[in-house]
Amino acid sequence: MKFRCKKTENCFAGARTYEYELPVTGQELAGRLAGWEVKENHRFRRPVFSARKDGVEIKGILAAQVVKVNYTEENWEREKKGLERWLEETEV
């Protein structure tokens, strides 16, 4: 799938947070995250999800096409490259 990525600011020192604009909704993405611990929260006006695997965390609104990804400080370059390769190889 095609995506756009940009670095975003975070209040934590050393944070590696990136925002991804995707051609699928957060709900569709969450359904494709096999092997990730995915949680949904429907208590908000706009329900959200979070997914965690090996220290990487993806968060987003279920109905939106933008997610934020927090990578670990130690391995963020490798993790980012791996996630983006997976996104590119995923069929829409």
- Contact yes or no for 33/58 (Cβ under 8 A): yes
What distance in Å separates the CA atoms of residue 3 and residue 80, rounded to the nearest whole number?
Answer: 13
Q: Global pTM?
A: 0.92
- Contact yes or no for 33/24 (Cβ under 8 A): no
Taking Cα atoms as reference points, which of 11, 35, 29 lies closest to residue 66? 29
What pLDDT does residue 82 have? Answer: 97
pLDDT digits (tens, 9 = 90+) for 35-59: 999 999 999 999 999 999 999 999 9
Residues in the chain predicted with pLDDT less than 50, given as ranges, are none
